[in-house]
Amino acid sequence: MNIPELIDCDTALDPKRNRHSTWKKARDRMIAEVWPETTPSFQIHSGAKIFTIGSCFARNIEEHLYRLGFKIPTLEFRVPREEWAARANGILNKYTPAAIFQEIEWARNILLKGGKVTESDSASFLYECAEGACIDTNLGGFVPVTRERFFERRSQIYDTFKEAFSADYIVMTLGLVEVWFDREKGVYIQESPVGKNFTRNRERFGFQTLSYNDCREFVQRSIDAIRSVNQEVKFLITTSPVPLSRTFTGKDVIIANTYSKSLLRTVAGDIATANKHVDYFPSYESVMLTKNWNIWGPDLLHVADAFVGKVVARLTDTYCRGLEETKKTFLQSYINLSENSALNALEVGQQAVEESPQSGELRRHYGNLLVQSGTYPEAQRQFEAGIALTPGDAMLHFKLSEVLALQGRVRDAIKAAQRSIELVPDNEFSHRHLCRLWMKTGRVGKAAAEFALAFGHRRLTKTRRPGLKRFFRFVLPRLSRTRWDQPA
């Protein structure tokens, strides 16, 4: 029998070894919200580059980390709304250990041969559809695109994932163990092969529930692949609390989900124990053991943004002891706002701006709080100050337009809205907003044009018909340049 390394009896029994060892001492940490005590093996320095990979919970975490001043490469990834209409970089979600490893290994191989992405590098992820379109099976959504766009986007994905090999820290969030496999290409695919694009090739795909050994190997190989290039990188591994939306096993979804999360939690713990500077962070325990439905979003699947903020605040209290208090104040303001504590959020937001007046994002956030409180002139001042600091922030121009309109300054609001659209032309809501402003001035022609642009961008986002996509891509830029100057 292979006996593992044992801890000395006196050491294991020593009551001073662990002051959190009994449930009696856990009681006070199990009321209202649950925050397990952790002992970090490293610290995260201020302004560090943190690469986030995994399920949608990783997307939640990275947004709050960005607000705290960390460099988050995945937040810079964007695709057109017709390819992914939800969170801008959500198409990068990797729910399973297999998908995580697959993308990391793909990027590593390209990096080691010089960083040039060729068509052959990406062929294993290319699934051909009708009319010359294709799907990237290692991305979310399975929206068909042209072959040209497929390879262009693969290069953009590499430009993002190569940052993992120079990051200071990796946050890896494990989500699911149910996977689909493409027998023809020999790769795992990101979602289930449903819909008309897969009907004719259904037999080439198979379903599998990953075992403990499978998951552990994929996670370990992911760490090894990154450390083969980036030896000093440190890892934080979490288990996503977001449950299965459905199971493809024959089991009750409750049982299937519990199995999945239990297995991944065990893998995360074992990997952390076996590797230096790989820590497990107990966000899963904080969410699952907190007996309050308010920590969940309306769908009862995703964690509410306010509680994610608290998870990140806990993480930074543990791992970022040198973090500036201004940044913590900023995060607390977001948490208060998300919890509908508007007055507290306003006070904390003002404090954050006073402590860090050169932050355009802080100005935007504080301006939003002032708008909610009805303090429009001061909100306008904050947005204008934010634009002076970050003139390329389309959202600041949009917010300025909104607050100018609330004060009856419609023509000034139009100028701000037009600048917002110049920076981000495909934002449906900006076009709708500008449409309403033109109507207030009686410029029906211009209002009609903006409504058509808003409608066109929505159709471009929603439709999966390649012909209709080509039509809107041809028409929308020309429509936006058309002059509609006749007043009503």
Residue 384 shares a structural domain with residue 477: no
Domain membership of residue 15 (yes or no) is: no
- Please give the pLDDT value at position 333: 63
Residues found in the chain? 488
Amino acid at 325: E
Average pLDDT for 105-117: 95
Same domain, 308 and 355: no
Range of the domain at 286: 43-323
Look at the pTM and tell me if it is higher than 0.75: no
Is residue 234 located within the same domain as residue 383? no
Numbers of helices and strands, H then E, in the chain:
20, 10
Give mean pLDDT, residues 147-155. Answer: 93
Q: How far apart are CA 16 and CA 178, in angstroms?
A: 42
- Indicate the DSSP class of residue 125: G
Non-local CB neighbours of 270 within 8 Å, separated by 6+ positions: 216
Digit-coded pLDDT (tens) for 157-184: 999 999 999 999 999 999 999 999 999 9
Residue position matching structure tokens 């904050």: 382
What is the pLDDT at residue 468?
44
The domain spanning residue 403 has which CATH number? 1.25.40.10
Question: Pick from 484, 483, 465, 486: which is nearest to 82 by CA?
Answer: 465
Query: Does pLDDT of 305 surpass 80?
Result: no
3-state secondary structure of 222: helix
Both 331 and 314 in one domain: the answer is no
Residue 401 inside a domain? The answer is yes
Q: Which of 277, 295, 323 is the last residue of a domain?
A: 323
Residue type at 75 in one-letter notation = L
- What is the bridge-based pairing of β-strands 169-174 and 145-146? unpaired
- Give the CATH number of the domain where residue 145 resides: 3.40.50.1110
Q: Which of 268, 181, 185 is nearest to 222 (CA)?
A: 268
Q: Are residues 144 and 51 in the same domain?
A: yes
Highest-scoring range by mean pLDDT, 25-34, 314-323, 404-413, 440-449:
404-413
Which of 276, 293, 323 represents a domain boundary (last residue)? 323
pLDDT level of residue 484 (50, 70, 90 thresholds): very low
Give the strand order in the sheet containing 234-239: 50-54, 169-174, 234-239, 278-280
Query: Nearest-CA neighbor of 216 among 58, 104, 101, 102?
Result: 101
Distance CA 208, CA 481 (A): 51
Both 274 and 350 in one domain: the answer is no
Q: What is the pLDDT of residue 292?
A: 80
Q: What is the reported pLDDT for 282?
A: 93
Q: Are residues 190 and 278 in the same domain?
A: yes
User: What is the helix (H) or strand (E) element at residue 406, kind and residue range?
Assistant: helix 394-406
Least reliable range by pLDDT among 29-43, 192-206, 347-361 = 347-361
pLDDT band with cut points at 50, 70 and 90 for residue 466: low
Structure tokens at 150: 């497929």
| Residue that is last in its domain, among 323, 353, 373 | 323
In this prediction, residue 479 has a pLDDT band, given cuts at 50, 70 and 90, of very low
Strands (E), 93-201: 126-128, 133-136, 145-146, 169-174, 178-182, 187-189
Same domain, 332 and 289: no
Q: Are residues 336 and 217 in the same domain?
A: no
Do residue 226 and residue 351 come from a single domain? no
Q: Does residue 8 form part of some domain?
A: no
Contact 248, 189 (CB under 8 A): no
Q: What is the DSSP letter of 96?
A: S
Average pLDDT in the 261-272 region? Answer: 97
**Mean predicted confidence (pLDDT) in 198-220:** 93
- Does pLDDT of 336 surpass 70? no
Asked whether residue 152 falls in the same domain as residue 283, the answer is yes
pLDDT number for residue 214: 96
Q: Is the domain of 204 the same as that of 278? A: yes
Within a domain: 106: yes
Closest CA to 332 of 360, 306, 302, 371: 306
The predicted structure's pLDDT at residue 488: 36
The answer to whether 317 touches 346, Cβ cutoff 8 Å, is: no
Domain count, the chain: 3
